[in-house]
Amino acid sequence: MSPLHQLEHWLLQAQAQDRPCLYQANDFRALFPELSAGAYRALLHRAQHKGILERVCQGIYQYAGKPDNSGYILFHAAALLRAQHFNYISLETALSDAGVISQIPMGWITLVSTGRTATVDCGRFGTIEFLHTQQPLAALQDRVAYDELCHMFRANTDLARQDMARFHRHATAELIAPAEHAS
């Protein structure tokens, strides 16, 4: 069986076992120990060209036979991209989801991360913005909660507001005087 067919067969089996839809590029490496690094990259490129894999962003792919239609693909990709760091949903994304601000970021999510600041272009899926924090994790533990759907932690509204100020984001009247809007 060719490596391309072997990869497709593995992906079909993985989907039958209800595994995640997103994969890091190195997730398939153990299937092909005999391939050189260049041949392995060529295999991923051919799989993408044949429509077996779809590139979400650098190093993250989804199986085209069962795409992630959950609406959370950017969050799931971000969790994979920065799995070695602590990340949480905050700023405009958290405040919009909580109904605190009326702006709804379309195709753009904002996360705070212990990793470096970066903006990741995910093509047709949108953009992931990571903002670096040096806050100690102990200071965050009571201010974030795990969001099962996103596979990430999410800031409460107070922390998201503080992050808006800390990162010098445009503050709307809703953020500056939240108590006035509560009445």
What are residue 164's phi and psi, to 5 degrees? Answer: -60, -45
Please give the model's pTM, rounded to 2 decimal places: 0.86
pLDDT band at 17 (very low <50, low <70, confident <90, very high): confident
> Which of 16, 33, 63 marks a domain boundary?
63
Same domain membership, residue 177 and residue 93: yes
Domain membership flag for residue 68: no
The model's pLDDT over 85-108, given as tens digits with 9 standing for 90+, comes to 999 999 999 999 999 998 777 899
Domain boundary (15, 30, 63) is at: 63
Is 14 found in the same domain as 102? no
Q: Rounded to a whole number, what is the distance in angstroms from the first to the last CA of the chain?
A: 67
Residue 177 pLDDT: 46
What average pLDDT score do residues 32-40 get?
96
Does residue 172 surpass a pLDDT of 90?
Answer: no
State the Cα–Cα distance between residues 75 and 103, nearest whole angstrom.
Answer: 19
Q: What mean pLDDT is predicted for residues 65-84?
A: 91
Same domain, 146 and 170: yes
Statement to judge: residues 8 and 82 lie in one domain: no
Specify the CATH number for the domain of residue 50: 1.10.10
The first and second tokens of residue 159, run together, are: 């922390």
Question: Residues 111, 136: one domain?
Answer: yes
148 and 88 within one domain:
yes
Per-residue pLDDT, averaged over 118-131, amounts to 96
SS (H, E, C) 122-181: CHHHCEEEEEECCCCHHHCCCCEEEECCCCEEEECHHHHHHHHHHCCCCCCHHHHCHHHH
DSSP summary character for residue 109: E
Range of the domain at 170: 73-181
138-154 residue pLDDT tens: 999 999 999 999 999 99
